[in-house]
Amino acid sequence: MPVPLPPDDPRFKQRVENTFRLDPEASERFRCGHAKDLVQARLTEALQGVQYDVEQARSLAVSIANNIRLDLEQLYLPRYKLVAHVLISERRDQGLAVGCRFLWDDAKDNFATATFENQTLVAVAAVFGTYCE
Amino acid sequence: MLQFYVSVSVQTQFVVDEVSNVIKEAVESTIGGNTYQQAKVNQWASSVVESCLGALTKLQKPFKYIVTSVIMQKTGAGLHTASSCYWDNSTDGSCTVRWENKTMYCIVSVFGLAI
């Protein structure tokens, strides 16, 4: 016989009324245009005038990814899971190809990408939002 | 009063080792013995991602997948990738596989988000 959990237990989940909604509201959808602006702004702000340096690039990549995720969290996107992915590469006349593909619900899930280039580095950032039913 | 417990079984959890093996095989079979060629690299990036996704679908798990691949020629340049995620830690996960041969690097990242 399962014992009821006390309300201050971390596993306790409040019972919520059923919304009978399968899709997100129009105002709560993942908007590509808006997300792209945010991603581009974060990328440019972090990498403007920066020369490629191994140690710095490592920590920059992590901090840009965190900032992008926090920015998206500020937007009101209930029931959306977010993934921010950042790639920074040094420029040494090498070829580089980046591709991505998804297995998800096209109507509700979406993504936004942005790129940044200067003399010594190339950066590509992407943020993906998937709706969790 | 009823309490609802969400049980996380192996079926609904992202298993990194399994996915990692799947990706390694997919990459090996797609660009295994090839030398870097500028003209083909875009097509390779797409086909690596496609074959990874196809193999992941065959696992028949209740997950949404995001697969990204980066193919870079070996010239001594540095490359860093980072990702930050807002998800449910008990069910979702990611796996990054780094593959290389004499002329190029291939880095494939798979993010699995439970439905």
ipTM: 0.82
Query: Up-side HSE of residue B15: CA atoms within 13 Å toward CB?
Result: 14
Query: Best of B84, B89, B108 to disrupt the A interface by mutation (most A CBs within 10 Å)?
Result: B84
Question: What is the amino acid identity at position B47?
Answer: S
Q: Nearest CA to A127 among A79, A86, A76?
A: A86
A104 interaction partners in chain B (CB closer than 8 Å): 64-66, 113
Q: Which residue in chain B is spatially nearest to A111 when comparing CA positions?
A: B66
Provide the sign of the torsion angle of the four alpha carbons A10, A132, A109, B52, taken in this order.
positive
A15 interaction partners in chain B (CB closer than 8 Å): 4
State the pLDDT at residue A61.
93
The answer, yes or no, to whether residue A20 has pLDDT greater than 70, is: yes
Determine contact, residues B79/A87, Cβ cutoff 8 Å.
yes
Any A CB within 8 A of B64 CB: yes
Q: What is the pLDDT of residues A36-49, one digit of tens each?
A: 999 999 999 999 98
State the pLDDT at residue B4.
63
Categorize the per-residue pLDDT at B80 as very low, low, confident or very high, splitting at 50, 70 and 90.
very high
The answer, yes or no, to whether residue A11 has pLDDT greater than 90, is: no
The answer, yes or no, to whether residue B11 has pLDDT greater than 70, is: no
State the pLDDT at residue A66.
94
Determine contact, residues A86/A64, Cβ cutoff 8 Å.
yes
A44 three-class SS: helix
Cα-flanking dihedrals φ and ψ of residue A18, to 5°? -75, 130
Determine contact, residues A127/A42, Cβ cutoff 8 Å.
no
Determine contact, residues B44/B51, Cβ cutoff 8 Å.
no
A6 DSSP assignment: P
**What number of residues does chain A have?**
133
The least confident of A20-24, A53-57, B8-12 is B8-12
What's CA B63's distance to the chain center, in Å? 13
Determine contact, residues A85/A72, Cβ cutoff 8 Å.
no
Categorize the per-residue pLDDT at A23 as very low, low, confident or very high, splitting at 50, 70 and 90.
confident
State the pLDDT at residue A130.
92
The answer, yes or no, to whether residue A128 has pLDDT greater than 90, is: yes
Q: What is the pLDDT of residues A57-114, one digit of tens each?
A: 999 999 999 999 999 998 888 889 999 999 999 998 888 899 999 998 888 999 999 9
